[in-house]
Structure 1
Amino acid sequence: MSYRLTPEDVRFFHDEGYLGPYTMHSPEEMDRIRPVVEREIFEAEGPFYVNRKKSRHLDSRTIYDLCTHPTIMDRIEGILGPDIVLWQSNFFNKPPGAKEIPWHQDMNFWSTEIEPGINVSAWLAIDDTDVTNSCVQLMPGSHRRMIPHIKATPEQAFRQQGDPDHIGVDPDRVVKMKMKAGQFFLFTERMLHYSAANTSDCRRLGLAIRITIPIVRCYKRYHLHLVRGEDRMGFNVYGDAPE
């Protein structure tokens, strides 16, 4: 089955900065996958002993398969073209009571990691997510310019936030990505996004999958994965999928 984007989808992505949500796995399939993911990220040591939640696609076949699933790759191919590189992944775990993640653009944190700054992220819900347990919120069209970032407050989870004097968030236009487990959405490296404090009794676990193309130099201490196509540039080092 093909999950390729229509020209209208591609136009929407370039205009608004996001697409979705889409379904990768049914709730029943996620009930089988979730315990494996939990075991991998909460119990097993990963390639980065200081952070079990970073780039676990490097050592977990289950997580690698989520990151490279055709429902994601077919759609990203419509945006980035046939040569696709998986360069990073991150789990974001927000248990009950977790702080808000302020409005920010991912590219603000990547200036020393990828050059030029070309990336499409897929955010996959491992748990059901709604407003009460801190679903991701997007500001459509905010990807057209970089926003200055300043130091975050103690009440916020990140070190930096988009400067409130510059972000220009319109509450009436904010898109709240309420999803069932197994659904995902796509967004650009410059999309302003946010998640409120988790005021529910339910955890919110999500997987952010970072995709770029071979013309981008990735300054990582580990290998990348050329998921589709070929690399004609030779900037990056690639490795095999985990067994």
Structure 2
Amino acid sequence: MELTSGIRDFALTPDELSGFHARGYYGPFKVYEVDEMRRAWRGERLRLMDREYAVYRSEAAESGNTNIANYDRHLDSAYLADHITQRRITDRVTSVLGPDVLCWRTEFFPKYPGDEGTDWHQADTFANASGTPQILWPDGAEEFGGTITVWTAFTEANEETGCLQFIPGTHQSMFYDETKRMHYDPSSINRKEKDGVRRGFFGYDYRQLQKDPDWTPDESQAVSMVMRPGEAVMFWSTLMHASLPHAGNVPEARMGFAARYVPTSVRVYPDTEEIEEYGGRVSLERHGSVLVSGEEKYSHNRLVDRTTRGHRFVSN
């Protein structure tokens, strides 16, 4: 399967690419106008309530009792399918990853008034919750790891509503061991403070994965990603990142949508038949990655057509 890439109108300049490699992130940058995003989200959030074609159909996902219910709605939403292939996004992603790129997962990240922030974390293989790697780079690519995440603000994301925070340059070293296991305790959500800030990790304590239990991230270096609706930021998942709590001063929830990209050479959910996270378990039977740029030259990942209402799988 091949997509025609054409001229990359939104590719990173050499200076932007150099800055991305040094800091681990690029942006924020505009994907949609503010009014355009607000109008689109008003309609789409209602359509997403219909889960008839959602890929994860387990009781846990249907009930919304697990964050997995927020995964991969681009596989049943035409709007989100268009979003993950938006040239303002994919041109920038291919500047880093090369021409042949898959979107292997998307996630919604809501933060409602009064919600805690998300604790500092890094993700390389995404084995942090289940102990099972979800992506594996090929041999010989040891200098790479993780995924490129493009996090788009569907609503206002600021220090009052719980915007992202990064510690620049931390993508060069992993401070966590994803082969360890975290204890899932949903009763801890919105119940704890860490260093004076209400932070958690969806019922986990990410500090249980620290290589050095006495290490603490240098929050004095943290930068806040304040974004208007329709803006996005691109970053390595191995970059130390977190989010602030929603202070509750405004009634609107903060909604972010994260699309995750890897080169086609990366194996997605290798030797895995289900996702086990956040107290839930769902089958990957209906999951497939989406080719967003270039050509798929490998046979280790199942692909799904981007117009996937009904989930039409395509051969490699």
Of 149, 154, 161, the residue aligned with 2:206 is: 161
Structure 2 letter corresponding to 1:6: T
What's the offset of the Cα at 1:66? Answer: 1.3
Could you give the per-residue CA deviations for residues 116-157 of structure 1, whole angstroms, max 9, x where no partner exists?
234100000000110011000000011111112666892224
Change (3 A) 1:165 1:41: farther
Partner Cα separation in structure 2 for residue 43 and residue 169 of structure 1: 42
Residue ranges of structure 1 left out of the alignment (5+ in a row): none
Which residue is 2:81 aligned to? Answer: 64
The question of whether the paired residues in 2 share the 8 Å contact of 1:27 and 1:182 is answered with: yes
TM superposition shift of 1:76:
0.7
Higher deviation after alignment, 227-236 or 81-90: 227-236
Deviates more, 1:218-227 or 1:136-145: 218-227
Of 89-98 and 34-43, deviating more is 34-43
Q: Is residue 277 of structure 2 the alignment partner of residue 232 of structure 1?
A: no
The one-letter amino acid of 1:204's match is R
Could you tell me which of 197, 206, 218 is aligned with 2:245?
A: 197
Deviations 1:17-44 (A, max 9, x none): 0000000000111122102331243453
2-structure distance, mates of 1:196, 1:113 = 27
Greater mean deviation of Cα atoms: 146-155 or 208-217:
146-155
Q: Which residue of 1 aligns with 2:227?
A: 179
Matches of residues 48-197 of structure 1 in structure 2 within 5 Å? 48-49=56-57, 50=61, 51-107=68-124, 109-110=126-127, 112-116=133-137, 117-148=145-176, 154=188, 155=192, 156-158=200-202, 159-162=204-207, 163=210, 165-171=214-220, 173-197=221-245
- Root-mean-square deviation (Å): 2.1
TM-score in terms of structure 2 length? 0.71
What CA distance in whole angstroms lies between the structure 1 residues aligned with 2:154 and 2:170?
26
1:41–1:52: 8 Å Cα contact kept in structure 2? no
Shift of 1:97: 0.9
Letter of the aligned partner of 2:85 in structure 1? Answer: T
Cα shift at 1:195: 1.0
| Alignment match, 1:47 | 55
| C-alpha contact (below 8 Å) 2:103/2:291 kept by paired residues | yes
Corresponding residue for residue 24 of structure 2: 17
Residues 34-58 of structure 1: per-residue CA shift (max 9 Å, x gap): 0233124345352213143110011
What is the alpha-carbon distance in structure 2 between the residues aligned to residue 240 and residue 123 of structure 1?
A: 22
Mapped to 2, the partners of 1:97 and 1:91 lie a distance apart of: 18
Which stretch shifts more, 221-230 or 46-55? 46-55
- Whose radius of gyration is greater, 1 or 2? 2
Structure 1 outlier segments of 4+, above 4 Å: 149-153
Alignment correspondent of 1:217: 267
User: Aligned partners of 2:41, 2:268: CA distance in 1, in Å?
Assistant: 30
- Tell me how far apart the structure 1 counterparts of residues 291 and 231 of structure 2 sit (CA, whole Å): 24
- Say if 2:10 is the partner of 1:3: yes
